[in-house]
Copies of this chain bind each other. A is one copy, B any other.
Amino acid sequence: MTTGDTGWSPDRHSTQQLQTPPSGYKVEPWQLAWHGLAVDQLQRTESTFALSNGHLGMRGTLEEGEPRGLPGTYLNGFYETQPLPYAEAGYGYPEDGQTVCNVTDGKIIRLLVEDEPLDMRYGTAPEHVRTLDFRSGTLRRRTVWVSPTGRRIRLTTERLVSFTQRAIAAIRYVVEPLDGRLQLVAQSDLLTNEPIESRTKDPRVAADLGSVLRPDFATGSEQRALLAHHTHKSGLHMAAAMDHIFDTPDGMDTRLLVEDDLARVTAAAEVPEGGRLSITKFLAYGWSSTRSVPALRAQVDAALTGVVQTGWDRLAADQRAYLDAFWETADVEIEGDPELQQAVRFALFHVLQAGARGETRAIPAKGLTGPGYDGHAFWDTETFVLPVLTYTQPEAVRDALRWRHATIEPAKQRAGLLGQRGAAFPWRSINGAECSAYWPAGTAAFHVSADVADAVARYLAATGDIDFERSCGAELLVQTARLWCSLGHHDEHGGFRIDGVTGPDEYSAIADNNVYTNLMAQQNLREAAAVCDRQPDVAERLGVDAEEHKTWLEAAEAMLLPFDTMLGVHPQASGFTVHDRWDFEGTSSDHYPLFLHYPYFDLYRKQVVKQADLVLAMHLRGDAFTAQEKARNFAYYEPLTVRDSSLSACSQAVIAAEVGHLDLAFDYFAEAALTDLHDLHNNVRNGLHIASLAGAWSVAVAGFGGMRDHGGRLTFAPRLPPALSRIAFRMCFRGNRFSVDIGGEAATYQLLAGEPFDIAHHGDALSVGSQPVTRPIPSIEPGERPRQPARREPARRRSAQR
């Protein structure tokens, strides 16, 4: 067990005086540690300390179960359905919602110390540190606890959700008596249908389903047990199993209890001072919508037997090796701001955790870190998360897009129901069926389909994965292109309009010619045509003929982009710039987020932007704007954008950096990167904002690195913000790993593995090879720093922190 690299390691004796160590995160480059207990903050750390491999996720609750914020164990794609109620229903409204289930909790190991239950709310804890290690991929805990009657123990735990064995989690649990021999009783549980208390009106929180898992069977023998359950309405089956290896100096008694919703192995031992009770707990999970209960049992049993054979040490070594490989390709170094260095690695670690082993399942907005948004996946995945993974862990992108492809039938049915051709991907879903009950910000946000296409095109360009292109990519591009052709129409002047849709900004809805949507649709249409050119036999199989191909290119060519000639800016949709401005001066800071304090009708009809929309278009379709347009548009939208969504700061940072407002970009960088660590949206308890975390990478790479990938070509235009002395990052492109190292005056590009390839640096072509190539960074004069709405300017982060 590794405990040595906890940065903060007080002397054991001195801590006897320190009853309550300072609580909070400690800034360190490769790990996130929280010192002290802080019961009221537990929900936060349960999210930030969540472990996941994209298939199985566990919130960072304490092993003893309580105190707790919100327990949670999730299996990607495992949900229960519930009817969506409507006081006034309408045609095409989805009838059923889906909510991620909190499945059987296997993390629990309760401890009795001489008949006192270990509960951090009682007694004292002279030492209590929990550490999420980005390189070992484990969550460690080191607690010295003095029971109310004065018994002292040290508890050291480490746990992981395996990247290499996706059904597996494991816990190493060690108790040491510090004051003489103690009787220790440990109870290791599988617990189903834990009661959870939660009442809120916030629409971002999950529906409360109560106890949804119904027992199929429960079995066990010796130190091993298995519980199988199913959901009532969605009809999904799951099983969880545990096995244990105990180690004590003087032997021990164990006992097994198996009930429908509880399996428990109890171990009792007398442990002398200097001795230890050591438990290694292995957990295996599985679920299926189709396999029988016996088949599922066999699968989980097999996985468990496998990992017992692997053993803790090799499992932990495999975990570290997996992460070493990841960081070799993905690491971002930030010099000049240690907290942001930590935050960016924290972000990358969680993005990896969300996407690593999903394997034909969605990457939910919260990953598997909490129940927020009901566990649904949104456009966030394709637009914010997949770009990161495309250049750091491309297999995860392939798998996530295979999930989209696996849902193309429901997406085609949805399009058909809506009177459209092609495929309309859902605004929010777990299984691919639309779950959004509010169509103006759900169904009407058709851009999600173009976002899927964008992610497909990016992945194909960055990997050249022909197999995927032929099996999935082409169909995704073609079916989404068909959607745009049916959603839009040529007006009497020939312009191609897409009317009555909702763009990324959720403070506008049902508008004509949203620039973001139209530009993404334009690209979608062109990429569909291109993939059909590349794969003519696939195109034929998909029923694409020359006529259809032509209509795509004609629609793309004629795509209408509104422009306000008086103001010299792009309205984010037709008519936007003639609307009244929101009364920002008259809006107090406690009235944000606005949607919890003002009606949609008033938000929709005024110039107020929840999240980057036109600004996001200038990032993803930067090739469609001149530099001057970008600068003018950015200056226009900054004073209107309130960032009530976590999906905004990163995009604003990227364009701020491009147009030269590097200080502002740096402030937004901090906001995006620290969203969850500082709990800026006051809802991290429901799970991490995976897309915002991904956005932190985007700011470093696409913002300060100026990376763009328009047309499948990688270009860079790096510029550091004054507060940083260096940013260096690694990426892979078409199988080639390379690094970009940015200083104040120059940037250096170097191939780390693979073949040389061409990029551009501030518009100048260069080849990235194994010899470092350094190029100077041109200066930029951005003019005055744009203002934000009153009381919504980002926190200034002028100088390096700490």
Chain A contacts to B: CB under 8 angstroms: 84-92, 97, 201, 203, 417-420, 436-440, 443-444, 489, 491-492, 497, 499-501, 509-510, 512, 574-575, 578-580, 595-602, 604-606
Contact = CB atoms under 8 A, between A and B. Distances in A.
Contacts of A201: 89
Give the residue among A417, A512, A599 with the most B Cβ atoms within 10 A.
A599
27 contacts: A85-B85, A86-B437, A88-B436, A88-B437, A90-B595, A91-B595, A91-B600, A92-B598, A92-B599, A419-B599, A419-B602, A420-B602, A439-B599, A439-B600, A440-B510, A440-B601, A443-B599, A489-B580, A499-B606, A500-B602, A500-B604, A500-B605, A500-B606, A510-B510, A512-B579, A512-B605, A574-B575
B92 A97 contact: no
Nearest to A90: B600
B491 A578 contact: yes
Contact of A85 (B87, B501, B595): B87
A665 to B, nearest CB: 31
A418 B580 CA distance: 16
A492 B510 CA distance: 24
Nearest to A587: B419
Give the residue among A92, A574, A605 with the most B Cβ atoms within 10 A.
A605
Given A85-B86, A579-B499, A605-B500, A598 B419 contact: yes
A90 B604 contact: no
A107 to B, nearest CB: 32
Given A85-B87, A578-B491, A418 B599 contact: yes
A440 B201 CA distance: 21
Nearest to A85: B85
A606 B510 CA distance: 12
Contact of A97 (B87, B575, B578): B87
B87 A86 contact: yes
Given A574-B575, A598-B419, A602-B419, A87 B88 contact: no
Contacts of A92: 598-599
Give the residue among A203, A510, A580, A601 with the most B Cβ atoms within 10 A.
A601
Contacts of A596: 91
A789 to B, nearest CB: 16
B203 A604 contact: no
A598 B579 CA distance: 30
Nearest to A581: B489
Contacts of A87: 84-86, 97, 437-438
A90 B437 CA distance: 12
Contacts of A605: 499-501, 510, 512
A482 to B, nearest CB: 16
A441 B15 CA distance: 65
Contact of A89 (B89, B203, B443, B501): B203
Given A87-B85, A444-B601, A578-B491, A510 B509 contact: yes
B597 A91 contact: yes
B88 A203 contact: yes
Given A86-B437, A497-B579, 4 more contacts: A92-B598, A489-B580, A499-B606, A500-B579
A601 B91 contact: no
Given A91-B595, A97-B87, A436-B88, A418 B601 contact: yes
A578 B491 CA distance: 7
A601 B439 contact: yes
Give the residue among A88, A491, A492, A512 with the most B Cβ atoms within 10 A.
A88
A599 B510 contact: no
A400 to B, nearest CB: 25
Contacts of A440: 440, 510, 601
A437 to B, nearest CB: 3
A598 B420 CA distance: 11
A592 to B, nearest CB: 12
A510 B90 contact: no
Give the residue among A90, A512, A580 with the most B Cβ atoms within 10 A.
A90
A500 B438 CA distance: 18
A437 B437 CA distance: 13
Contact of A599 (B90, B489, B512, B604): B90
Nearest to A574: B575
Contacts of A86: 85-87, 437
Nearest to A604: B500
Nearest to A87: B437
B85 A438 contact: no
A601 B497 CA distance: 15
Contacts of A501: 601, 605
A565 B359 CA distance: 56
Contact of A438 (B88, B97, B579): B88
Contacts of A598: 91-92, 419
B418 A602 contact: yes
A510 B508 CA distance: 11
A431 to B, nearest CB: 17
Contacts of A604: 500, 510
A379 to B, nearest CB: 17
A319 to B, nearest CB: 39
Shortest Cβ-Cβ A-B pairs, 6 listed: A500-B605, A87-B437, A85-B85, A92-B599, A84-B87, A88-B438
A206 to B, nearest CB: 12
Contacts of A88: 203, 436-438
Contacts of A91: 595-600
A372 to B, nearest CB: 14
Contact of A443 (B85, B439, B509, B601): B601
Nearest to A490: B580
A129 B617 CA distance: 71
A601 B500 contact: yes
A598 to B, nearest CB: 6
A437 B580 CA distance: 26
A627 to B, nearest CB: 27
Nearest to A566: B492
A565 to B, nearest CB: 13
A596 B34 CA distance: 56
A681 to B, nearest CB: 17
Contacts of A90: 203, 438, 595, 599-600
Nearest to A499: B605
A674 to B, nearest CB: 28
A595 to B, nearest CB: 6
A500 B88 CA distance: 21
Contacts of A599: 90-92, 417-419, 439, 443
A601 B510 contact: yes
A601 B419 CA distance: 10
Give the residue among A420, A489, A499, A512 with the most B Cβ atoms within 10 A.
A499
A491 B567 CA distance: 14
Contact of A580 (B84, B439, B499): B499
Nearest to A596: B91
